[in-house]
Amino acid sequence: MYKYDYLIVGSGLFGATFAYRAKLADKKCLVIDKRPHTGGNIYCENKDGINVHKYGAHIFHTSNRKVWDFVNSIVEFNRYTNSPVANYKGSLYNLPFNMNTFYQMWGVTTPEQAMDKINSQRKEMLEKISSSGTGEPANLEEQAISLVGTDIYEKLVKGYTEKQWGRKCTELPSFIIKRLPVRFVYDNNYFNDKYQGIPVGGYNKLTEGLLEGIETITDTDFFQNREYWEQIAEKIVFTGKIDEFYGYRFGKLEYRTVYFEEEELDCPNYQGNAVVNYTSKDVPYTRVIEHKHFEMFGDEVYRCGKTVISKEYSIEWNDSLEPYYPINNPVNNGLYMKYKLLADKETRVIFGGRLAEYKYYDMAPIIEKVLDMDII
């Protein structure tokens, strides 16, 4: 007889949402997490009344009404709209690429003028690709220029992408950028989704709401006492690295990762926006996050006399660092499929989430996936 119906390894969004639904189904759950806190990468730390996104900026967005209603049933979400700004050598450009960006770049004021400018800069690259043996872009640089032209590529794509991946764009595969959103309207809203926002009071409110009344243990590594944990519950929900679960028997999957330099500043407003991307190669970090702008608007910004910023750096991953972004190239995807074949044969283990499925997920699709699962 098992003590629990489910042992849930990891208290991020997949694990916490699964635990919430399992509890509603009268299942007894235990959630364990190797970190000293719950919430996975959406965890926030409160400093000077500001909720700091400790693992990078997280902006919830979805067009799925069921998902939006679900998260708002746990905690109210605010009106935050993601409208990042790019800083290239001191010049500012709105993102995503839209008519505001094109006016800042070229002084054009109509969609027709902007289209003509972009098409004139794409023409040579499109001809080069067309005349190549494959008819396909040879690398990321060719792909990006064929989509948005040379000016936008050189100022807003190239340096940022090379910092993200640690390689020249000419050495990166074209599939990394399948498309670059270009909007011929004056609209700085980064997302096209119907709903977006940040939990009022920060993401910890969402995690706490999902895990309320569920036994949870932090600072606990499943692999340090695996035999014990595998016998404690009828089923295991595993949200960690799938290759680690199988002892890396086929080899290790690769990731990119990021680290943050956090600063508390004695000023109420450092950059006037939550997210500013630094797109030139000579600035070592990729972006600066000013956390208070996720939850404070208008005069409220100045009622809090301090601010907290995080400079984000993209680096190569190793075992001592947090794995953030799966590198879904053919080699890694093939390796993952070997592990997935093993996972598919498991009768007591459910694999879910970014690390267990070796797939980048936004937050809403994770919740949607769990809401659509049969939990019996």
Q: Which residues are catalytic?
A: 179, 183, 256, 287, 312, 360, 362
Q: Which amino acid is at 63?
A: S
Number of H helices, E strands in the chain: 13, 16
- End-to-end CA distance of the chain: give it in Å, rounded: 17
Task: Please name which of 318, 187, 174, 335 lies closest in space to residue 257, comparing C-alpha atoms.
Answer: 318
| Alpha-helical segments (H) within 90-190 | 99-106, 111-131, 140-148, 150-152, 158-165
Report the sign of the C-alpha dihedral through residues 180, 184, 189, 195, in that order. Answer: negative
Q: Considering only CA atoms, which of 209, 275, 216, 271 is closest in space to residue 77?
A: 209
Three-class SS state of 334: helix
d(CA 130, CA 132): 6
Which of 347, 355, 351 minimizes the C-alpha distance to 370?
A: 351
Instruction: For residue 254, give the DSSP letter.
Output: P
